Amino acid sequence: MLKTVTTSLWKSKIKRTQIIRLFGSSTKIADDPNAKYEDLSNFANIPVENIRNFSIIAHVDHGKSTLADRILELTGAISRNSGSQVLDNLQVEKERGITVKAQTVSIFHKHKDNVYLLNLIDTPGHVDFSNEVSRSLAACDGVILLVDACHGVQAQTVANYHLAKGRKLAIVPVLNKIDIKHADPDKVCKDLKSLFNIDPFTVLKVSAKLGIGVLEVLDRIIETIPPPQVDRDTPFRALLFDSWFDRYRGALNLMYLLNGKLQVGEEIQSLSTSKVYPVKSISILRPSESQVDCISAGQVGLIACNMRNSKESIVGDTIHLKNQECSAVSSFKPQQPMVFAGIYPADQSKHVALRSAIDKLILNDSAVTVNIDSSPALGQGWRLGFLGLLHMEVFCQRLEQEHGAEPIITAPSVTYRLLLKNPKMIKQLGSEVLELSNAALYPEPFNIKECYEPLVKGTIITPGQYLGQIISLCVERRGIQESSINIDNDRMLIKYILPLNEIIVDFNDHLKSLSSGYASFNYEDYGYHLTNLVRLDIHLNGKLVDEFCRIVHATKAKTVGKEMVTKLKDMIPRQMVQIAIQACVGSKVQARETIKPYRKDVTAKLYGGDVTRRMKLLKQQSDGKKKMRQFANIQVPHETFINVLKR
């Protein structure tokens, strides 16, 4: 009925504001089920069959957070004038207009005279935050697969669908933005049928912005997604699937209960660390915190229990009662980082403050790894691992905004694997395989038997008219085509095997530029494969500068070397002697630039006379500079190291 009314309204060309008023009056909150549970005194006794745990998954900018806003409004969790993207509460999310952190909220909805508890998780859409999606799905029994009715199925849509199907979750397909003029719901439904075998008649059509069809989505969630498969009659056991830091309460842990129940005052224990903690408080997010005394299996709660740092709060850990035997919940494994960068304090006096800020932020982002590192130019710091370049940028932006840190971030790199053949090195390392991302530690070629680099399987969905340019881009980045599929008459899905170090910096930007923004890209780990790597050294007047070294593919050495020496020529200030900047692989020079010295005109005071006087003065100056060049050290300012090493 709602679909028929909506279609007729659009055909009659009624203004958008009139539709909002029309549907605004019909989407009242039935009896406001939230009001019934306002005191939450009976929260733990909600029957399991009346609980639904689900996530919203989609590609970037398909309207996940907007749909979450409408769901919260229709269920009475927030007022209608609360603003847009209520769950995107981080400053970086508001500035960039993207979701970077999965957010959980517990709401109530009345359906066929029964009140249901819905635990909703709004997830990010960018591939760099896929760890947030995978850990969110560990606490869900179903998902809303949201697709833009204008742009159709995108690369991350495909990845998220297979992620949900791999966990055997119920899927509710929903088309968003049907109110936009150039929306084509029928075409997108055909794509869903051809790619995922989803029946077009089961696809819900909504406008999250206007609130059209959102009530149908809530009803479909209750009818399609099964209640959680839990057991309340066994001892307490829970999955820790998110955490963050509070300056007054320490680490706060978001847990999904699989067995039994938990009350304030009980003592819980971590299966990973075996440490015991008293439960100080239990809250549910609605979306603000609401205190409860007890929660039961099938529910999601925020537990404060005197955890103090990121080493104690481990995402994916199993929590149980003190001294109670328990088996691990193996439903979530954190993803391995793919991009690495060095982070250093701008001043070594701020080392402790930056370390504290990183520790607190890692608690909120379990995908980041930290290892101690040092640089002769930048001092003591850390080597951090991220899932992608955007992940790195957002993490560093949060360091600055949320903790007031001023970090120096080096250029991103990936981890390579080297198979060694020097028995002495193998004995020192205790292994014949060396993993490194710092070029300064790259061994001499005669010590290396084989080199391996990480590859990814990239999925690109693009209109057919841009196919030739995109293939050229992939070939330029050393890509190998794996498959090519026609989604429909206009769009194609192509898969490429690509080296990770070729795509982490600017591949997506070039892809968007070539396709006028229509192509989408997603990638997944494809393991390590044999390759030909070399270390590109930078010499200043014949002296090696370790801080500027890079690990590159042999075919890219000349190109990268030319870029490096050109950049250094612009950044290193002129000095009294000539500076030769050389990019070398071993003893072979790949590129060179020269910085001319300051030159004083020693003949300026001559007012005539024999030419031999002029030649004598010039020879004295030349001999003096030769002598200076033998003993002089090239002074490279600290700022130059920072500008060259950072992103």
Report the CATH number at residue 136.
3.40.50.300
Q: Are residues 523 and 553 in the same domain?
A: no
Q: Are residues 397 and 307 in the same domain?
A: no
Residue among 279, 271, 260 nearest 329 (CA): 271
Q: How far apart are CA 292 and CA 303, in angstroms?
A: 10
Q: Are residues 494 and 630 in the same domain?
A: no
Q: Are residues 385 and 456 in the same domain?
A: no
Domain membership flag for residue 520 = yes
Q: Give the domain-ending residue among 171, 197, 224.
A: 224
Q: What is the dihedral of CA 240, 314, 64, 457, to 10 degrees?
A: -120
Q: Give the domain-ending residue among 509, 531, 553.
A: 531
Task: Transcribe 356-387 into DSSP letters.
Answer: HHHHHHHHH-TT-EEEEEEETTTEEEEEEEES
Query: Residue 84 has what DSSP assignment?
Result: S
User: What digits encode the pLDDT tens for the residues 594-636?
Assistant: 988 777 666 666 766 677 777 877 787 777 766 555 445 555 6
Query: Would you say 11 is a known binding-site residue?
Result: no
User: Given this model, what pLDDT does residue 61 score?
Assistant: 82
Domain membership flag for residue 471 = yes
Query: Would you say 124 is a known binding-site residue?
Result: yes
User: Given this model, what pLDDT does residue 27 score?
Assistant: 40
Q: Are residues 270 and 366 in the same domain?
A: no
Query: Would you say 438 is a known binding-site residue?
Result: no
User: Given this model, what pLDDT does residue 37 score?
Assistant: 54
Q: Which residues of the chain have pLDDT under 50?
A: 1-30, 35, 630-631, 647
Q: 573 is in which domain, residue-wise?
A: 534-645
User: What digits encode the pLDDT tens for the residues 277-297?
Assistant: 999 999 998 888 888 989 999
Report the CATH number at residue 376.
3.30.70.870
Domain membership flag for residue 609 = yes
Q: How far apart are CA 54 and CA 120, in angstroms?
A: 5
User: Given this model, what pLDDT does residue 84 score?
Assistant: 66
Query: Would you say 64 is a known binding-site residue?
Result: yes
Q: Are residues 441 and 518 in the same domain?
A: yes
Domain membership flag for residue 1 = no
Domain membership flag for residue 10 = no
Asked if residue 457 lies in contact with residue 497, where contact means CB atoms within 8 angstroms, the answer is yes
Task: Transcribe 156-192 into DSSP letters.
Answer: HHHHHHHHHHHTT-EEEEEEE-TTSTT--HHHHHHHH
Query: Would you say 553 is a known binding-site residue?
Result: no
Q: Are residues 450 and 570 in the same domain?
A: no
Q: What is the total count of domains within the chain? A: 5
Amino acid identity, position 168: K
Side-chain-side CA neighbours of 445 within 13 Å: the count stands at 10
User: Given this model, what pLDDT does residue 638 score?
Assistant: 56
Report the CATH number at residue 514.
3.30.70.240
Query: Would you say 176 is a known binding-site residue?
Result: yes
Q: Is the pTM of this model over 0.95?
A: no
Domain membership flag for residue 3 = no
User: Given this model, what pLDDT does residue 29 score?
Assistant: 43
Query: Would you say 341 is a known binding-site residue?
Result: no
Q: Are residues 206 and 255 in the same domain?
A: no
Domain membership flag for residue 510 = yes
Query: Would you say 123 is a known binding-site residue?
Result: yes
Q: Are residues 387 and 466 in the same domain?
A: no
Q: Are residues 49 and 166 in the same domain?
A: yes
Token pair recorded at residue 273: 């660390």
Q: Are residues 262 and 312 in the same domain?
A: yes
Domain membership flag for residue 350 = yes
Asked if residue 501 lies in contact with residue 413, where contact means CB atoms within 8 angstroms, the answer is yes
Q: Are residues 58 and 161 in the same domain?
A: yes
Query: Would you say 177 is a known binding-site residue?
Result: yes
Q: Give the domain-ending residue among 289, 321, 353.
A: 321
Residue among 377, 555, 533, 539 nearest 444 (CA): 533
Query: Would you say 191 is a known binding-site residue?
Result: no
Asked if residue 549 lies in contact with residue 564, where contact means CB atoms within 8 angstroms, the answer is no
Task: Specify the 3-state DSSP secondary structure of 534.
Answer: strand
